[in-house]
Amino acid sequence: MTEIIRIDPINPETGRLARAAEVIKDGGTVAFPTETVYGLGANGFDANACSRIFEIKGRPADNPLILHIAAASWLNRVANGVDRRTLDLVEKVWPGPITLVLKRNNDVPDIVTAGLKTAAIRCPAHRIALGLIEQSGVPIAAPSANLSTKPSTTKFEHVLQDLDGKVDVIIDGGDATFGVESTIIDMTVNPPTLLRPGAFTVEEIERYLGMIKVPKTINQSLKSDDVAIAPGMKYRHYAPDKKLVLANDDTLLHAAAELAVGLKDPIAILCSKQKANALMNGVKLRNISLIVLGSDDNLYEVARNLFDGFRALDATGAKLGIIQKFDEKGIGLAIMNRVYKAAGGSSVGTFSELKELLN
Ligand code: AMP
Ligand code: MG
């Protein structure tokens, strides 16, 4: 049985948070909202409780979790030898959607870090998440609150879809603010290195840290025998059940809309409102589900709607979804990272490739 606890994200009710915190303290599992996506949390010092997270999600054991702490002052409960540069950084960016990989200490069980000597740590900027960690009194280990390989959950309804009946508690705390996961930076190397683009933009991080290393492979889809820059990243990720294909050129969206008329099964197009308007300009779309993700001029809006768009694709009768490219600047880098992984490297660049795909 899963207990649903509804909590106000602006003014979280203390008693309700306390109930959820009890469950964490007792070794249970709680899905909770953060400013990035929903997390599936357990006591980060309790190996048994954390093993439930892997079972529930069907998550491979070599994919480590993130430790969520209530304040930078908790860092020495989980990390070792935290240097001045890191302390200066967290003073400016926490609470916030930025996760730091640091040397871990021996109180952190192996299962949390998949046996690594480093741990990924962050302090979330969300009153429910912070209140839950504070009241639990322990770091909360949490990956995203979705079944493994599925799109991350950004709304309470998504969490219900994936985890109802599997977790002890789901907190209904409204929609996540950013809609994409935290940015992960490896602070154990010089220069600090981006492991996963996320809600906190590289441009902004560099204002605090100076130049960081952004590996060229960060937005390339990896084959199973490639070595991932961060553990877990080689897996299929964020993926809808239906096939998702990236259109490398916007004109292919128009071509797809025209070709759809003659197809047996409908297709879906995931795009900005500007592209959707252009597609509908003067013609009646047939055999198409349009999934509008937001504005090309406001990629934060697109980020917020992206995983919901992937889930919406699965709810349509479409055979597959075609998604437009977004500018890889600012939060666009994180958006395209999720799109590449969700599409599993499948894309079309020419009209003939598109025709072949739809046949
Ligand atoms: P999720 O919150 O579901 O996106 O999962 C957390 C992600 O954090 C994992 O997939 C890893 O890629 C990353 N991560 C966690 N711990 C470490 C670590 N010690 N070193 C590098 N990356 C990590
Ligand atoms: Mg995840």
120 lines ligand 1 (CB under 6 A): yes
When the pLDDT of each residue in the chain is averaged and rounded to a whole number, the result is 95
66 lines ligand 1 (CB under 6 A): yes
Q: How far apart are CA 93 and CA 200, in angstroms?
A: 9
CATH number of 3-209: 3.90.870.10
Main-chain phi, psi angles of 342, to 5 degrees: -70, -35
What's the CA-to-centroid distance between 350 and ligand 2, angstroms? 32
Q: How many CA atoms are closer than 13 Å to the CA of 106, on its beta-carbon side?
A: 0
148 lines ligand 1 (CB under 6 A): no
- Among 124, 71, 119, smallest CA distance to 97 is for 124
Q: How far apart are CA 254 and CA 354, in angstroms?
A: 11
Residue 276 CB: number of other CB atoms within 10 A?
A: 19
Average pLDDT of 240-267? 96
Q: Are 211 and 190 in contact (CB under 8 A)?
A: no
Question: 7-11, 59-63, 236-240, 303-307: which has the minimum mean pLDDT?
Answer: 236-240
Q: For position 282, what pLDDT does the model report?
A: 73
Strand partners, 184: 99, 196
Between 212 and 230, where is the model more confident?
A: 212
Q: How confident is the model at residue 231 (pLDDT cuts 50, 70, 90)?
A: confident
Q: Which residues contact 216 (CB under 8 A, 6 or more apart)?
A: none
pTM for the full model? Answer: 0.96
Average pLDDT of 323-331? 97
What's the CA-to-centroid distance between 340 and ligand 2, angstroms? 15
pLDDT at 222 over 70: no
pLDDT at 224 over 60: no
75 lines ligand 1 (CB under 6 A): no
Q: How far apart are CA 178 and CA 36, in angstroms?
A: 5
Q: Are 98 and 186 in contact (CB under 8 A)?
A: no
- SS3 helix, strand, coil % of the chain, rounded to 5? 35, 20, 45
Q: Look at ligand 1, atom 17, and give the residue with the nearest C-alpha.
A: 120
Continuous H helices in 139-225: 156-163, 202-209
Q: How confident is the model at residue 128 (pLDDT cuts 50, 70, 90)?
A: very high
Percentage of the chain modeled with pLDDT above 70: 98
Domain ranges, ordered by start, for the chain: 3-209, 243-358
pLDDT at 225 over 80: no
pLDDT at 294 over 80: yes
Q: For position 354, what pLDDT does the model report?
A: 97
Q: For position 221, what pLDDT does the model report?
A: 60
Average pLDDT of 131-160? 98
Give the neighbor-by-neighbor strand order of the sheet with 288-292: 288-292, 267-271, 320-323, 243-247, 347-348
184 lines ligand 1 (CB under 6 A): yes
Q: How far apart are CA 67 and CA 69, in angstroms?
A: 6
Between 131 and 231, where is the model more confident?
A: 131
CATH, domain 243-358, list 3.30.470.20, 3.40.50.1100, 3.40.1390.20, 3.40.50.11030: 3.40.50.11030
Rg (CA), the chain: 21
Q: For position 345, what pLDDT does the model report?
A: 87
The pLDDT tens digits of the residues spanning 2-34 come to: 999 999 999 999 999 999 999 999 999 999 999
The pLDDT tens digits of the residues spanning 80-125 come to: 999 999 999 999 999 999 999 999 999 999 999 999 999 999 999 9
What's the CA-to-centroid distance between 49 and ligand 1, angstroms? 18
